[in-house]
Structure 1
């Protein structure tokens, strides 16, 4: 049995009389040989690069390649009149690969002999052998990874980098700093192991610690709790490098032993080996382990030993060519400024990721909710104390704990304390419907609730734990929690009116955090989420922020929906990263211009982003990054993202799948839809949740086996969203397959709203349609058929009825009464198109008497009527109780400002919520204006004619 030959990394081609018959420079128009085309494409799929070393004129040769559509297959093209051996050497150097991995094919035996004599490491082949090359063992990698198909793209990006470097006016260090390098280190998945093994056989030995593993070894190690197989991906402003690093570590007692680390030779000039090592050292230290390393000396890898020594490792013992190195804890290498290292969060390491920054920045403010704050030390102590009280109350991994608190610092720390106890938080504010709460407590098997002070309105079977109660001894927190254990529960509307409970696992949450790669170099990051804790969107920047030592800001209950309060909170904390829904961001944007110098990135999610919001953002915050993120709760917050750099002409794309996720646009037969063709969007990957609590049939209906991955047991989630994937791979959202819509960031099923309306004794049938008003905010119109011999109930009555079973965002904005819900003739289905057209029409106001109202009150009533779409209100009704919301408050303020400038500030409208109060304030402001005018001392100029 002979040894396997060294694999070929690059095949260098002669062109004339090799790729085709004839000489292009002599005006021949030869067609490429079919055998050459076949070998080019087969080897390219295997990740083997192609290059050209040929005689002739460069422009003529590349033009001919381009005409036949194969220019892009070549990662380097050298055409001229020099020696072929010189060209082959230059190609190997430009690609950063060893000559012993290069092959050369040419029809001319003299040219082959010249290359073989000058470069004996290069294997040479005659043109007659082209058809058989794909079958030769040196051209058949032992493993062929998915990444292999992109290797040519990686080298093309490298050519662009080299061009940029040659044109760069500054120093080499300045150029490195300009690349915006990001190194992402993560645990290898089953799909990564082929690439991990490929790195061990393809990487030049000077970049490795010397140990090797075969594919079976790596698979076995990745399944062992003692070992970690880590891979590192690299990208910069020119594009992706792909997976370029590998590390294998073992936990041995109190040591973390680095058994293997290597970096691809493609990135030797990028200076990422040192940061990679420093990350591994810090990872071990954070876990309370001593970093050690084993090194196997080879003739070529001395440079790696030097790298280890510079990183702080010292030789502790030697055994022949094997060295044992120990890291010196006093050695603190300075951070590398030109590369940002992003680590993976695992389910097992979730508490460490979220609370571990206490060891680095204990006195930095960690969390802010309204006017209250905690440092990282205080957050650590508070959540640990609550976790112990919960464990003492019987909470165990896998259980669900109700956090029955309004949006506040207490609610936030309660949720994190529940997670620290190994359980799952479920936040429900005290004004939650009692009937819905009871149903969900039963469905979730919830037995414990966290409260602050006396509890009221809770189901009797719940044991309560007071946030501020004394700690009952030192109950031990769980040492390990299964990665499949739930981390939190989020409820979404259901078709029966009872919310569905989505179970999000610890592994899902960890994967979501890992997928975040927001830039936070320079200064201390501050995140601001203008969102409710009831919706998981707040985790988008908040959870990531905790893992990088950021200060993380949220509004309290008093500030929610109050644009003035939210902008004041943002101005106070000056965030670097902000998350919001598009509707809320539209309102916040004018008040954020004072943050131009600090606000680095805005991430929007929860609704489709109108192009007008992008345009306004670019106008007011031109230097701030803008990301459109997409993802249902069933895929853990967001899993698709698009970096919006320009104002789009059409819909704002939702982008491409984030790291660890997959997005498929499929036809009804679950086949990939053709580019630019609508299909249904399915999501796969590590963020897809286990399913719905106590709803196995519903879970089975939308969580399906994923046929597009080799992972056993992998599933994908059917979103019900219509999407189009462009030829560039970017996805656009094109609405819903069913009736589910997003209203102010909350997912609402229209059928659920209809079900609640139809429980009203006067409503026989209801149809709910979403529509975008003049402010682009999505609202609901309910078309109702009343029961026989019944008068239509007033709007206030229907609003009050809906409030008992629906979240505020699901309450219809308008109510229309029709004799029958229209049916489409062709399909015999409900004619939603007709209803949508009616929803956009101005409502016909019912005549109403305003006898006894002042003139100002009647003017206000006319404004209210236009905004609310109905007349069913009295002088003493609260605007928010009869159909108003925070967005309409802003529109109300604009209307009042146009009629009575300066009379009422927008923030006061949350307190001056009635017509009576607003009229009194307007009249008082007018009287003050008159007195100020009468008291003003005339000046001579005032009497000039």
Structure 2
């Protein structure tokens, strides 16, 4: 019986058509040739060309008759036909015994048959009968078979791209954006699964085969699992490329069959599938075991298993049983993103990845914060202990645990402990208004709160008082205390929440975005930043309350890296952050562009520069990109983009040209489209709204089903039914090379120091004050390129205009600190432009108008007035009072350094920059300066009189 033909190789002149192209007498393709091309293509048999002549005119003739797209490989020249057929076999990775050749010339056929006896040769006059021959009639034609030609042509484009690629093979594979989806085989998959067993080259299999009825029985068995693996990249779909049959035997998950299609051997995806199978077994509490049946050619699969950490358990001439050692990681898998909705835990899961590293590197440093250092073993113990206490307090899978904590090592422990308890974390810094906390607790149905009794304003009584108005009364779990514990649950499904993060809402009330474990896992597994084993150290300048802080940390913990977490005090001080980066030789750093502009000179002075810097949360300007290139030319600069609703970032770009800085292309497992009205796709250069989709699209907004339905819409472009995409509200433009340019917001949302602020939300809150008739806000960029929010207020009729302090307090009780305007400017009416829209230019021109008055300064001391003048210069406005915090009236890390420089000019050496993060008001700074002057005078007098004076009494 003849094996099924996979590829038919055609001669052209006097075979596919009558006549010779180079002689100018070539006719249109023969009808019987067209019919054979079409029928065999529909059966999954691909076509190639081995013909004598010149390539250009032959291909032009094919194209003129609409047939060029039918061929997956072309060898047109003057070499022997057998050599052409051999090259086609190598190009398409199809064995010679699965290739047929048709030619009108018996000499050519004889030459091929002699040199390649495996190849079946046919005469041109037999074309009409070829589709009826048994070897051209596969028993089953699957969807994958019908799409085989398109996939081979996509592979040709990949190969062309690879040949012109200047980097290494590993870099090329990384740029492919490979995504493997692994799921249980359904009835519709079984034909393709069987096809894989009979068509796949035996190099890539553990050695057993099953017919379709056996596969059907196994897929229905409770003791077996039949998995199908599909693959895609930026060039298109590969289709189903892998098959796995697993048998559950007690504590072992046994791979009785694993095979990969020969088409993907060069892509290195077999290791990624194997790593997923190991994780899948581990999630069930089982050991992954492989049953290997030796053949004459599949020894390479045995070598793959051994390199992946499988050790021989049993061996005889007909079978080798190998078990994974539970320690060794499968090498060279980072370039493939694995998706699996029905896996016990999703690939990239933070907790399972962390626990693997605990077993692998127990004494490696995992976490550094505030001078405290935790190894992976210690981090495991602390998180397990706290998770047990949470379970003992009543936390159950799917719950949300509110972490009312200032940032330090215990904050990270609490976040991980919530996950290990099967719950999600929601981190809120102390100091939020009671009304905001209670609304959040009620929306999330939160039943547990972790807090630190040692921190200011978070004693048990104070926390109880804060949460007293909530309709839901959560259990309080203080850090460092002892309480009953419970057993840790099995890992929840991928759809369970992992964390909740608040973001600005258009009505003034914050929205709580619920991020699933699968979303977080997809974000982690989609990352593959360059790093060196054992030298991965990450640091984020963003607070853990902002999702940008999760960009590197979780990824690093699943890879055995070290995460440096600045304390809440250090976060505000760029000098302190620079010192941390230098001290711990941070290799991967995350920042907003605003913060990075301040930090960059300090990084340039460090003994070792980071390997990667990722900037997110704001628009990256070309000037900052150029400055980075000048100071850190060897550091990879990433510009990353993504709303909270798409799990941290989902689009990225490696910045190589400082003149243009797009946000780039979607990460593996994500999509990003610029769409017009009615979700129509736009062409290159057109401006539209940016929609993002894929694995990182979150569950939606807590307790807001209507808003969720409005912003999370059906994805008409997705291959899988039920997929959603998020309407970002951002404007974008697709470039000719496939990058996306970010063009700002389509609504009133802005970025303030990396935080997303809804201008309309701030305006809505201001207008709830009885003394405000109307309010509008604009963003003004100061000379340091830092954005600040300025509010323009129209007082209510017949009312006394509220003061600045009163409005700031009103906003602070209802908004996050970054949403409180830094300036409040009174105006008589809202300016409207000719087109009937808000005249923002007119407002910006008035941004320096006299602000709303604060209390009188006539009773201020001269020292306080002197400091106030310096504040006005640093902040670029004078809208503040004696006891206002510098950071609540427009101050930031950049401007506090500027303030220190001004103080040094007037009072050199009296105040350190670090003190200004504690001495935040004019009163405190003036007092500190006065005390320093007193100390200096006393020391001078002591020196003159030779009487020693202790300075301890004057320490600040």
TM-score range (shorter-chain normalised) is 0.7 to 0.9
Partner of 2:674: 665
SS in structure 2 at match of 1:524: coil
- Between the aligned partners of 1:376 and 1:508, the Cα distance in structure 2 is 24
SS in structure 2 at match of 1:839: helix
Change (3 A) 1:628 1:95: same
Partner of 1:570: 581
Q: CA deviation at 1:547?
A: 0.7
Partner of 1:56: 53
Would you say the 8 A contact 2:101–2:119 is kept in 1? yes
- Between the aligned partners of 1:73 and 1:729, the Cα distance in structure 2 is 27
Q: CA deviation at 1:417?
A: 0.8
- Between the aligned partners of 1:88 and 1:738, the Cα distance in structure 2 is 60
- Between the aligned partners of 2:223 and 2:654, the Cα distance in structure 1 is 37
Q: Deviations over 1:266-319 (max 9, x none)?
A: 56578886797688568757975344223445565355456557765547377x
- Between the aligned partners of 1:322 and 1:475, the Cα distance in structure 2 is 48
In the alignment, structure 1 residue 745 sits paired with structure 2 residue 754: yes
Partner of 1:940: none
Q: CA deviation at 1:117?
A: 5.4
Partner of 2:547: 536
- Between the aligned partners of 1:218 and 1:770, the Cα distance in structure 2 is 62
In the alignment, structure 1 residue 377 sits paired with structure 2 residue 377: yes
Would you say the 8 A contact 1:563–1:907 is kept in 2? no
Partner of 2:314: 316
Q: How does 1:644-723 map to 2 (within 5 A)?
A: 644-649=655-660, 652-723=661-732
Instruction: State which of 486, 492, 502 in structure 2 corresponds to 1:491.
Output: 502
Q: How does 1:162-201 map to 2 (within 5 A)?
A: 188-189=182-183, 200=197
Partner of 1:204: 201
Q: CA deviation at 1:80?
A: 3.0
Please give the TM-score of this superposition, normalised by the length of structure 1. Answer: 0.83
Partner of 1:805: 814
Q: Which runs of 5+ in 2 are unaligned?
A: 454-458, 944-956
Q: Deviations over 1:503-556 (max 9, x none)?
A: 112222222222122233433311111111111222211111111111111111
SS in structure 2 at match of 1:458: helix
In the alignment, structure 1 residue 872 sits paired with structure 2 residue 879: yes
Give the stretch that moved more between structures: 702-711 or 847-856.
847-856
Q: CA deviation at 1:369?
A: 2.3
Change (3 A) 1:919 1:272: same
Instruction: State which of 763, 785, 788 in structure 1 corresponds to 2:794.
Output: 785
SS in structure 1 at match of 2:732: strand
Q: How does 1:399-410 map to 2 (within 5 A)?
A: 399-410=399-410
Change (3 A) 1:25 1:822: same
Instruction: State which of 744, 749, 769 in structure 2 corresponds to 1:760.
Output: 769
- Between the aligned partners of 2:888 and 2:325, the Cα distance in structure 1 is 62
Change (3 A) 1:691 1:35: farther
Change (3 A) 1:715 1:14: same
Would you say the 8 A contact 1:134–1:140 is kept in 2? no
Q: Which runs of 5+ in 1 are unaligned?
A: 169-174, 936-945
Partner of 1:942: none
In the alignment, structure 1 residue 509 sits paired with structure 2 residue 514: no
Would you say the 8 A contact 1:639–1:658 is kept in 2? yes
Q: CA deviation at 1:69?
A: 11
In the alignment, structure 1 residue 592 sits paired with structure 2 residue 603: yes
Q: How does 1:288-307 map to 2 (within 5 A)?
A: 289-296=286-293, 300-301=297-298, 303-305=300-302
Would you say the 8 A contact 1:769–1:836 is kept in 2? no
- Between the aligned partners of 1:200 and 1:912, the Cα distance in structure 2 is 72
- Between the aligned partners of 2:217 and 2:767, the Cα distance in structure 1 is 56
- Between the aligned partners of 2:656 and 2:933, the Cα distance in structure 1 is 45
- Between the aligned partners of 1:187 and 1:228, the Cα distance in structure 2 is 14
Would you say the 8 A contact 2:406–2:429 is kept in 1? yes
Would you say the 8 A contact 2:206–2:301 is kept in 1? yes
Q: CA deviation at 1:90?
A: 2.4
Q: CA deviation at 1:447?
A: 1.9
Q: CA deviation at 1:152?
A: 3.2
Please give the TM-score of this superposition, normalised by the length of structure 2. Answer: 0.82
Would you say the 8 A contact 1:234–1:244 is kept in 2? no
SS in structure 2 at match of 1:359: helix
Partner of 1:941: none
Over aligned residues, Cα RMSD in angstroms? Answer: 4.7
Partner of 2:482: 470
- Between the aligned partners of 2:516 and 2:701, the Cα distance in structure 1 is 12
SS in structure 2 at match of 1:188: strand
Partner of 1:887: 894
- Between the aligned partners of 2:592 and 2:220, the Cα distance in structure 1 is 39
Would you say the 8 A contact 2:194–2:211 is kept in 1? yes
Would you say the 8 A contact 2:803–2:852 is kept in 1? no
- Between the aligned partners of 1:915 and 1:328, the Cα distance in structure 2 is 64
In the alignment, structure 1 residue 617 sits paired with structure 2 residue 614: no
Change (3 A) 1:76 1:184: closer
Q: How does 1:247-396 map to 2 (within 5 A)?
A: 247-265=244-262, 289-296=286-293, 300-301=297-298, 303-305=300-302, 308=305, 312-314=310-312, 316=314, 323=319, 325-327=321-323, 348=345, 350=349, 351-396=351-396
Q: Deviations over 1:104-144 (max 9, x none)?
A: 45565654554355445445577799999999756995223
Instruction: State which of 784, 799, 805 in structure 2 corresponds to 1:775.
Output: 784
Change (3 A) 1:43 1:536: farther
Would you say the 8 A contact 2:280–2:344 is kept in 1? no
In the alignment, structure 1 residue 579 sits paired with structure 2 residue 590: yes
Give the stretch that moved more between structures: 902-911 or 483-492.
902-911
Q: CA deviation at 1:381?
A: 1.0
Change (3 A) 1:49 1:487: same
Change (3 A) 1:186 1:180: closer
Would you say the 8 A contact 1:7–1:141 is kept in 2? no
Partner of 2:917: 910
